[in-house]
């Protein structure tokens, strides 16, 4: 199955660490090159090398991807941050300002997005709003055409099927609110200590495909975790070289740090491969990035397709079939194992006491789960009709937004690695 699947679930933590760099310029504690001494050349189990990924991401993909994620379709994400934790009751809510999430007011969200959560054609765009008022999409208004009713019922059946890797929020709940991701960026919030460790402990100890020898990255006893809250309050946003070394230096992490960075590249390849596989879904003429502004929507779909074709042209995509090797029964068992673990982790996110961490945790888990859903649905994607409703394979707007924003965080992390390399090389 390949040893790197062992780390798949825990990889999101490395994305958070790099994408939410907390500031403060302190003297380095180790030699500059120790963080990257093992992060070069070919990745285990893959034919791709780190240097090729850096060039492709940092100079060909990253700028256009960021432009896409700033558009209205991708910046608004509907989330329920009030769902109770299903595993324990003693949750301490983070009272820090940086932990807070500012939801959108009703008039701040484009009308097309508010009324188009499940719309994928002009016909559906005009008719499906009535369905969203029902408790579930299965309650279809009889005024809808027979074709649209059938499509809605098929989508509902699909969304409840075993193809989904996450337990998604009920976005029809009164507690679900739109959040502007650009106004609530992922950053270090100061959320740490026993409560945060409890979350990671459940993820690593109970839900990871991993050997027991893996060192968990966020233990309160680990290096750099004993700082007081007052110390963090003095920080400013920026690149914290000392913290980077404490997380990824080979000696300080007992060899685990550079491995984490290589695993980050592996996660990049997973989601990159999923995006290359799902191109036919977005190429269909019926699909549109609907916000209500036709000119804007057409421009952004064109940009989306440019990015996807660029991704498809990447020369060193890994062959995911090698990871799903074995007979059909074994492959189905692997898929079910992944699905159950990811659904469980998506529920654990409701136990995170920092709302901003909960928001981005939910989004990134759903994004990674959507990528796995795509990789396990290759035949369904290949059999989609060129136009009309796609009954067998379907992505909701929530899945699309989370898929691209989660990949955007990984892309940002890869770009940040280049920044840290340059900073470390300038230290003598």
The whole-angstrom separation of Cα 398 and Cα 133 is 17
Q: Which of 385, 412, 344 is nearest to 86 (CA)?
A: 344
Q: Collapse the DSSP code of 49 into the 3-class scheme (helix H, G, I; strand E, B; otherwise coil) and give the result.
A: strand
Out of 46, 48, 131, 357, which one is annotated catalytic? Answer: 357
Question: DSSP for 302-363?
Answer: HHHHHHHHHHHT-TT---GGGTT-S-HHHHHHHHHHHHHHHHHHHHHGGG-S-HHHHHHHHH
Q: Confirm or deny that 64 is annotated as ligand binding.
A: no
Q: Which of 126, 150, 147 is nearest to 137 (CA)?
A: 150
Copy the structure tokens of residue 380.
């369904």
Task: Please indicate whether residue 354 is annotated as part of the active site.
Answer: yes
Q: Confirm or deny that 155 is annotated as ligand binding.
A: no
Residue 201 in contact with residue 352, Cβ under 8 Å?
A: no
Q: Which of 391, 398, 387, 321 is nearest to 365 (CA)?
A: 398
Residues 6 or more apart from 161 whose CB is under 8 A from it?
none
Q: Confirm or deny that 5 is annotated as ligand binding.
A: no
Q: Confirm or deny that 115 is annotated as ligand binding.
A: no
Q: Confirm or deny that 187 is annotated as ligand binding.
A: yes
The whole-angstrom separation of Cα 54 and Cα 288 is 31
Out of 46, 48, 208, 354, which one is annotated catalytic? Answer: 354
Task: Please indicate whether residue 48 is annotated as part of the active site.
Answer: no
Q: Which residues are annotated as a binding site?
A: 187, 189, 200, 223, 247
Q: Which residues are annotated as a binding site for FAD?
A: 187, 189, 200, 223, 247
Q: Which residues are catalytic?
A: 354, 357
């Amino acid at each position: 199955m390949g040893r790197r699947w062992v780390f798949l679930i825990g990889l999101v933590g490395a994305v958070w660490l790099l994408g939410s760099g907390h500031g403060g310029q302190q003297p380095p504690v180790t030699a500059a090159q120790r963080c990257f001494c093992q992060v070069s050349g070919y990745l285990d189990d893959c034919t791709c090398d780190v240097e090729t990924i850096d060039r492709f991401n940092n100079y060909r993909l990253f700028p256009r991807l960021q432009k896409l994620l700033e558009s209205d379709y991708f910046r608004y994400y509907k989330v329920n941050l009030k769902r109770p934790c299903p595993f324990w009751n003693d949750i301490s809510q983070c009272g820090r300002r940086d932990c807070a999430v500012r939801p959108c007011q009703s008039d701040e969200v484009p009308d097309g997005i508010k009324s188009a959560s499940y719309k994928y054609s002009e016909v559906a765009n005009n008719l499906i709003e009535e369905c969203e008022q029902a408790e579930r999409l299965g309650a279809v208004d009889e005024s809808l055409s027979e074709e649209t009713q059938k499509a809605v019922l098929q989508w509902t059946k699909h969304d409840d099927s075993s193809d989904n890797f996450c337990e998604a929020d009920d976005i029809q709940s009164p507690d679900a609110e739109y959040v502007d991701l650009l106004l609530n960026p992922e950053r270090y919030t100061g959320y740490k200590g026993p409560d945060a460790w409890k979350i990671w402990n459940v993820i690593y100890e109970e839900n990871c495909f991993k050997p027991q020898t893996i060192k968990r990255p966020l233990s309160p006893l680990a290096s750099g975790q004993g700082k007081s809250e007052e110390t963090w309050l003095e920080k400013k946003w920026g690149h914290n070289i000392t913290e980077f070394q404490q997380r990824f230096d080979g000696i300080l992490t007992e060899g685990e740090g550079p491995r984490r960075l290589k695993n980050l590249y592996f996660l990049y390849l997973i989601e990159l491969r999923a995006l290359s596989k799902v191109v036919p879904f977005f190429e269909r003429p019926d699909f549109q990035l609907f916000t209500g502004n036709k000119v804007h929507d057409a421009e952004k779909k064109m940009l989306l397709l440019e990015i996807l074709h660029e991704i498809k042209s990447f020369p060193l995509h890994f062959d995911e079939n090698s990871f799903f090797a074995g007979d059909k029964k074994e492959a189905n068992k692997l898929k079910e194992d992944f699905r159950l673990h990811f659904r469980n982790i998506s529920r654990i996110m409701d136990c995170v006491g920092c709302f901003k961490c909960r928001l981005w945790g939910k989004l990134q888990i759903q994004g990674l789960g959507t990528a796995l859903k795509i990789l396990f649905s290759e035949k369904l994607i290949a059999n989609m009709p060129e136009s009309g409703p796609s009954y067998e394979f379907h992505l909701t707007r929530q899945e699309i937004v989370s898929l691209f924003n989660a990949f955007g965080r990984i892309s940002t992390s890869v770009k940040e690695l280049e920044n840290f390399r340059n900073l470390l090389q300038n230290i003598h």
